[in-house]
Chain A
Amino acid sequence: RKEVEQDPGPFNVPEGATVAFNCTYSNSASQSFFWYRQDCRKEPKLLMSVYSSGNEDGRFTAQLNRASQYISLLIRDSKLSDSATYLCVVGGYIPTFGRGTSLIVHP
């Protein structure tokens, strides 16, 4: 089983839609999780940290399910500017990235 798995997508949604991504991880001892956003050929930028059951920041909600070993990211009221790749990262001695999920928001 891969350490951090994400559906690569792309998720193609209209403006205003709600979209959710999942990320599964293999190390049950992991304590910290992050969602990053990466635009084409740019650096990953921190979107949210998830240390306990979840976190919310405006239109973005992250949830952690330790029993099932997955983290989700929910984006409400999608904007065109949300189009990017969303990277799930599991923290630890070696922070590990998933492949990312591509989101395309169209008019």
Chain B
Amino acid sequence: EPEVTQTPSHQVTQMGQEVILRCVPISNHLYFYWYRQILGQKVEFLVSFYNNEISEKSEIFDDQFSVERPDGSNFTLKIRSTKLEDSAMYFCASSEWGGETEAFFGQGTRLTVV
């Protein structure tokens, strides 16, 4: 069964450093998402991506964040100058036809900023 894969599963970084979280969406899906979940809190939307550009983003997704699809398979989330409060689980998801259809999630990257 096709699945979304994310790497690394766990990333520890020092405050102020840049991190890149990687995702390989399901191959025939056209819409890609990043969500985050701070421990014990709800899953929060960060950004959606379609046709090689951002289609929607939340207020959380400020200039510190960027996304890229560097090739035909990878979808990355870059966090510049990480802060302690960026510590969270980051989930990548993809869907075939956008937000009105089912999204499938990767297993997540646990980011710990120290």
Residue B63, interface by CB 8 Å: no
A 11-56 contacts with B by CB, 8 A: 31-32, 34, 38, 41-46, 49
Closest to A45 in B: B105
* Proximity string of chain A (72-107) to chain B, C-beta cutoff 8 Å, 1 when within and 0 when not: 000000000000000100011111111110000000
Contact B43 A34 (CB under 8 A): no
Q: How far is the CB of B53 from chain A (nearest CB, A)?
A: 14
Q: Report the bound CA distance from A93 to B101 in whole Å.
A: 10
Contact B45 A41 (CB under 8 A): no
Contact A41 B89 (CB under 8 A): yes
Contact B100 A32 (CB under 8 A): yes
Interface bin, chain A: 20 to 34
Count residues of chain B with CB under 8 A from any CB of chain A: 25
Which chain B positions have C-beta within 8 A of A98? 42
Residue B58, interface by CB 8 Å: yes
> Within the complex, which residue of A43, A91, A93, A94 is in contact with B105, where a contact is CB–CB below 8 Å?
A43
Q: Report the bound CA distance from A96 to B8 in whole Å.
A: 25
List residues of B whose CB falls within 8 A of some A CB: 33, 35, 41-45, 48, 55-56, 58, 89, 91, 98-108, 110
19 contacts between A and B (CB under 8 A): A31-B100, A32-B99, A32-B101, A41-B110, A43-B91, A46-B104, A49-B102, A87-B43, A92-B99, A93-B48, A93-B55, A93-B98, A93-B99, A94-B45, A94-B56, A95-B33, A97-B44, A97-B45, A99-B41
